[in-house]
A and B are shown apart, each in its own frame.
Chain A
Amino acid sequence: MEFWELVAFTLRIAAPILAFIILSVCFWSLNDGRRTDHALVVLQDDNTGKIYPVTFWENLIGRSDKADICVENDMTISREHAVLLRRDTGWFVTDIGSKAGVYVNEKKIKGRCMVYIGDKISLGNTSLILRRVDETKESSRTRVSGTAVKKSVSGTFLLALITFYIIMISTEAMIYVRDILYLIPVALFVAVMWIFHKFSDRFMKIKHFELESIAFLLTGTGIVMCNTYSSRLGYMQLIATIIGLCIFSFIVWFIKVPDRVIYWRLIMSVFAILMLGAAAVFGREVNGASNWVFIGPFSFQPSEFAKVAYIFIGAGTLDQLQKLQNLLGFIIVTAICILILGYISDFGSALIFFVAFIIISYLRSGDMRKIMTIGAVAIIGAFFILTLKPYVAERFQVIGHIWEYSDSLGYQQTNTLVCSASGGLFGLGTGNGNLRYVMASESDLVFGAISEEMGLISALMLAVTIGGFMIYARAVIIKSRSVFYSMAACSAGGLLVFQAALHIFGILGMLPLTGVTLPFVSYGGSSMMACWGLLAFIKSADERTYYKKSTAEIPKKGEVLI
């Protein structure tokens, strides 16, 4: 045993180092492969010859200095006049309710109008001509137009590293679990990972795999962890991952054409409300909140799926958002969702929905004052809830006093701290912890369990990685193919981060304990599927996801691109 103890100890130190290398390579590659800031096409002022570089896929044209293409000194142009969009088929211009109207080749347009190289777009007294970058003087300063994609780190290489990492942590866990059958779900997970990579490479034509690799690393760690509780949990988590991957692929495919998604909004709203309604009607109470629905042997949390649908409802393309300035419909859907969640006492999810709402509505309106007003109303509502449900108020009381309640309301928090401290930086060994004997620790306390058994470094790395999704989402949004993706990615990333914060700081006694899961890592099928669903939005925000060589070309008049 002493020899194996030493092996386990070595593996525990080596595994986080390898994980750190993998994550660093992934994030470095994601950052390095981004498109540079050169113009896609240019607009040239017909009178003055002034060049306006067009750098985004969706560009707001107007007099306002916040517009992407700011045409100054022409008072006939509205502050927000038109939107110039790029789609796979070419470039389009839309009038977003300007006073003077938009003319293409002297013809007034209604709705979206395709524009070709050489076309004249007239806004008020100004006429802009769409030109290729290399037709202008700009070409000397910028590279040839098109989407230059650098070669990213190969998915095969990343998966090989992750496979090695999973072998390391599962071997380490084997030493304590001592059951060879334990390895089966883990081995199957590795297989799923490789099959998915082939599938996405072959059929989805997705040529870079860093984001999925990162998520696989999180998911793999979670599976190894909850598998040591019992291999039943391992198999359940594996199945959830497979379904999650299907949802991921489906969403990436489904939102390929952002203009199409807009028509699904109403259906998505109905879906979200129905999902939550189902929880309210058929929900069975598990640990305080009746957010579980049982169908035969399967149980799921509808609120997790509602989260994904909610992103659809909130996001939209730039021209649509400019036309639909008011948030009323969105607010109504949100209010219904949060009320239902309050009714079924799922306050963790209610809080997540509320934060998602704040993010989305701020991204849409940019009106801080309005958001503050809504926030104030929500806080009054929250106080009302606290008086109705005293046990929720109790959870707030515990904050900062967990040691005084160490055998009642602070039991989970204090145990998490005690166990994390015992684990040190490298942990006591997977399967060798004590926090696992606290009820629901595989889902609600997984950050603490990982901290205890795999070490503080591993636990922190997982948390930082979830924050990394958000940082990445923000880094790519400006170059994504539509404002729809930018908003969806930002809200999905924000959701993941907020949920992680609620999970981690809840069990550390810094926030009320709400029993939400740690994205990708916690045991929980619905949660796992929803996380992969949310990841799809972040994936789609990167223009490389839908990269095709043809999109680099812009048709001249008379040409059509396929």
Chain B
Amino acid sequence: MKKIRKRSFIVLLMTIAFFAGLVYHTVNIYINAKEWVMKPQNLHLTAAGNLDHGGKILDINNVVLAQSIDGERIYNDDELVRKACLHVVGDDKNSNIFNCIQEIYRADLIGYDFTFGLGMPKDLRKGKDIRLTIDSNLQKAALTALGDKKGAVIFYNYKTGAVACMVSTPTYDPQNRPNDLESNEAYEGVYLNRALWGQYTPGSTFKLVTAAAGLENIRDIENKVLQCKGADIIGNEAITCEFSMGTVNMRDAVCYSCNIYFGHLATELGKARMFKQAEKMGFNSRIEFDGMESAKSVYDVSEADVNDFAWSGVGQYNTLETPINVAMISAAIANGGIPVTPYIVQSITDNDFEHSSSFGNAIMSAETAEKLSDYMDYAVENNYGKYRFSSRFDVCAKTGTAEVSEDGQDAHAWITGFCKDEDFPYAFAVVVEHGGSGYDNAIPVAAAVLSAAEETLDSGMTYK
């Protein structure tokens, strides 16, 4: 009997291991429950109507963007604000709008806690309020400026990461949902937040990447010059400029957007170094912040011939970039080569959650950033015209006019840049789909948002 008792420790050991497993599970679920609850496969959250008793969503100035009153989700009073914030806030009755605050923070909004899970009766549950970094005034200005055009605008603070403006069009009013969302061509891709998920040919905005690669890899490249005759043969085919620019160095090439210069620069750098720089600057990976994520920007020259590769250096060929990625490169240039991670949730009530900034690895050296910043400044002074952006802010920028292969379609109009001003340290990117030239059609959109920011500053409020 004693022997059996002694040997039976083997089953006791097994039972203890079993209990240890249960403890592990309990700790695991305690730590991760919130993340799991918010998984898209959780039908308890995705089922419509759960935000009937949810908390508020506020903008940076505590303007209510969405709230629940008497079991109904009500959005901001102003139709323009509702439309402008649709892709950030989301629509509780339409789960097609994805990767938005109401989806990502649903657990907080409906008052999930570990003890009661989602099991607390709705009347007893208290949702948390979420304050965003978004400024509804800028949102409105951006939407108005985009008008009927499809496109995206993103403005974010290159020192702290706070996203003040993120608008995507087409959009609709979540308070008065149109019935023809699926059928009307004007609403094509309406569910997509283009600022994060739109993948566009970057055109000349990509020259910042090629220029950075050149400055990082080839000594004294900025002083080398090239004769631009309006067209040149690289590989078997031509690479062309809008006009013949004569003798150009890198600064001129950025300012007047010389394709031939950057085609040759890319060729000189070679695929490996270009690819490395592009990956460093966010290509082929997602940008993620506060549960939001972007599509991947694409730079893939593995099968490009010599001419294709030269075109890739000016942001054509098969290169694709998301607006957030474009803005992120400007933000890094403005911040000495170090990109700040964007954020959109400023605080969550009763959660003691307050955002703290975080930074990524340097995507270029401080000297390179300094030089690129100078070139963008030069481009605004000498080509785009300072007055066209703002009378107050000191803007550095780079336009882009991305040729798209579809026949008869206008090019995508791009502008990216940043304000050097201490009171508005924001980087931005604007894309207008088939908007034509960046110079003519993207700059006014950025200017409209900047002027709204001016008004805000004039009224005594500040941007963090």
> Which residues of A line the B interface, CB within 8 A?
2, 5-6, 9, 12, 56-60, 66-68, 318, 355, 358-359, 362-363, 366, 406, 414-415, 417-429, 434, 455-456, 460, 463-464, 467, 470-471, 473-474, 477-478, 483, 486-487, 490-491, 493-494, 497-498, 500-501, 504-505, 508, 510
Q: Which residues of A contact B123 (CB under 8 A)?
A: 2, 6
Instruction: Report if B121 contacts A (CB, 8 A).
Output: yes
The answer to whether B121 and A6 have CB atoms under 8 Å apart is yes
Q: In this complex, what residue of B is CB-closest to A64?
A: B3
Q: Does B21 contact A (CB under 8 A)?
A: yes
B117 touches A318 (CB 8 A): no
Complex partner residue of B22 from A318, A423, A463, CB under 8 angstroms? A463
- Can you name the residue of chain B whose Cβ is closest to the Cβ of A469? B15
Tell me, in angstroms, the Cα distance from A180 to B24 when the chains sit together. Answer: 40
Given contacts A56-B1, A424-B119, A478-B1, contact A460 B22 (CB under 8 A): yes
- Contact (Cβ within 8 A) A497 B1: no
A494 to B14, Cβ gap below 8 A?
Answer: yes
B229 at the A/B interface (Cβ < 8 Å)? Answer: no
A-B contact pairs, 12 of them (CB 8 A): A56-B1, A359-B11, A406-B39, A424-B114, A424-B115, A426-B116, A426-B117, A434-B43, A470-B12, A486-B1, A486-B4, A493-B15
The digit string for B38-81, where 1 denotes a CB below 8 A from any CB of A, is 01011111000000000000000000000000000000000000
Given A68-B2, A414-B41, A474-B12, A421-B117 contact (CB < 8 Å)? yes
| A9, B119: Cβ atoms closer than 8 Å | yes
Chain A residues with Cβ under 8 A from B1's Cβ? 56-60, 68, 318, 478, 483, 486
Give complex CA distance A474, B42 in Å: 42
Q: Does B18 contact A (CB under 8 A)?
A: yes
A374 to chain B, nearest CB (A): 14
Report whether B11 and A493 are in contact in the complex, using a CB–CB cutoff of 8 Å. Answer: yes
Chain B residues within an 8 Å CB radius of A60: 1-3
Residue in B45, B114, B121 whose CB lies within 8 Å of A5: B121
By CB atoms of chain B within 10 A, which of A362, A417, A501 has the most? Answer: A417
- Min CB–CB distance A79 → chain B (angstroms): 12
With CB as the reference atom, state the residue of chain A lying closest to B41: A418
A470–B33 CA distance with the chains assembled, in angstroms: 30
Complex: chain B residue closest to A423, CB-CB: B117
Measured between C-beta atoms, what is the minimum distance from A431 to chain B in Å? 13
A460 touches B117 (CB 8 A): no
| Smallest CB separation, A69 vs chain B (Å) | 10
User: Nearest B residue to A478 by beta-carbon distance?
Assistant: B5
B44 to chain A, nearest CB (A): 5
Task: Say which residue of A406, A425, A467 sits within 8 Å of B116 (CB atoms).
Answer: A425
B14: contacting residue among A456, A460, A497, CB under 8 A: A497
Please report the C-alpha to C-alpha distance between residue A147 and residue B3 in the assembled complex, in whole angstroms. 22
Considering the complex, give the chain A residue whose CB is closest to the CB of B25.
A508
Query: How long is the Cα–Cα vector from A86 to B403 in the complex, in angstroms?
Result: 97
Contacts of A9 in B (CB 8 A): 119-121, 124
- Report which of B19, B36, B45 forms a contact with A467, defined as CB distance below 8 A: B19
Are B10 and A362 in contact (CB-based, < 8 A)? Answer: yes
Establish whether residues A497 and B15, one from each chain, have CB atoms under 8 Å apart when the complex forms: yes
Chain B residues lying within 8 Å of A474, measured Cβ to Cβ, are 8, 11-12
Report the nearest B residue to A366, measured CB to CB.
B7
Complex-state Cα separation, A420 to B44, whole angstroms: 11
Size range of the chain B interface in the assembly: 35 or more
Instruction: Look across to chain B and name the residue whose beta carbon is closest to the beta carbon of A80.
Output: B3
In contact, B42 and A422 (Cβ under 8 angstroms): yes
Point out residues on B near A: beta carbons under 8 Å: 1-8, 10-12, 14-15, 17-19, 21-22, 24-26, 29, 32-34, 36-37, 39, 41-45, 113-124
Contact check, A424 vs B116: say whether CB atoms are below 8 A apart.
yes
Q: Are B29 and A456 in contact (CB under 8 A)?
A: yes
A490 to B9, CA, bound (A): 10
Instruction: Report yes or no: B7 in contact with A498, Cβ–Cβ below 8 A.
Output: no
Residues of chain A within 8 A (CB-CB) of B32 are 417, 421
- Shortest CB distance B134–A (Å): 29
CA distance A418 to B106 in the complex (A): 14
CA distance A418 to B29 in the complex (A): 9
CB-based contact A501/B117 at 8 Å: no
A-B pairs with lowest CB-CB distance, top 3: A424-B117, A421-B33, A421-B36
Please give the distance in Å from A447's CB to the nearest CB on chain B: 10
Taking the nearest CB of chain B, how far is it from the CB of A172, in angstroms? 11
What is the CA–CA distance of A422 and B45 in the complex, to the nearest angstrom?
A: 9
Say yes or no: A477 contacts B5, CB within 8 Å. Answer: yes
Q: Is the CB of B119 within 8 A of A426?
A: yes
Contact B44–A434 (Cβ < 8 Å): yes
Contacts of B8 in A (CB 8 A): 363, 474, 477, 486, 490
Task: Report the nearest B residue to A6, measured CB to CB.
Answer: B121
Report how far A415 CA is from B37 CA in the complex, Å: 10
Please state if A456 and B26 are interface contacts (CB–CB under 8 Å): yes
- Do B113 and A424 have beta carbons less than 8 Å apart? yes
Closest Cβ–Cβ distance, residue B35 to chain A (whole Å): 8
| Docked CA distance A415–B42 (Å) | 8
Contact of B121 among A2, A57, A355, A493 (CB under 8 A): A2
The answer to whether A504 and B11 touch across the interface, beta carbons within 8 angstroms, is: no
Q: How far is the CB of B271 from chain A (nearest CB, A)?
A: 31
In the complex the two chains form, what is the Cα distance from A417 to B36 in whole Å? 7
Complex: how many Å from CA A315 to CA B95? 60
Shortest C-beta distance, A504 to chain B (Å), equals: 7
With contacts A363-B7, A477-B5 known, is A425 near B117, CB below 8 A?
yes
How far in angstroms is the closest Cβ of chain A from B404?
34
Task: Report the Cα distance A176→B163, complex, angstroms.
Answer: 44
Query: Given A470-B15, A498-B14, is A422 in contact with B3 using a C-beta cutoff of 8 Å?
Result: no
Q: How far is the CA of A111 from the CA of B113 in the complex (A)?
A: 68
**Interfacial chain B residues near A471, Cβ < 8 Å:** 12, 15
Q: Which residue of A lies closest to B3 (CB)?
A: A66
User: Looking at B10, B24, B32, B122, which has the most chain A CB atoms within 10 Å of its CB?
Assistant: B10
Closest to B116 in A: A424
A418 close to B4 (CB less than 8 A): no
- Chain A residue nearest in CB terms to B24: A510
State whether A429 touches B11 (Cβ < 8 A).
Answer: no
A484 to chain B minimum Cβ distance, whole angstroms, is 10
In the complex, besides A60-B2, A366-B3, A467-B18, 9 extra interface pairs with C-beta distance below 8 angstroms are A12-B119, A66-B6, A421-B29, A422-B42, A424-B120, A471-B12, A477-B8, A494-B10, A501-B14
Chain B: minimal CB distance from A459 (Å)? 9
Contacts of A419 in B (CB 8 A): 42, 44
With a cutoff of 8 Å between Cβ atoms, the chain A residues found around residue B43 in the complex are 434
C-alpha gap A362/B6 in the complex (Å): 11
CA–CA, A5 to B39, complex, Å? 26
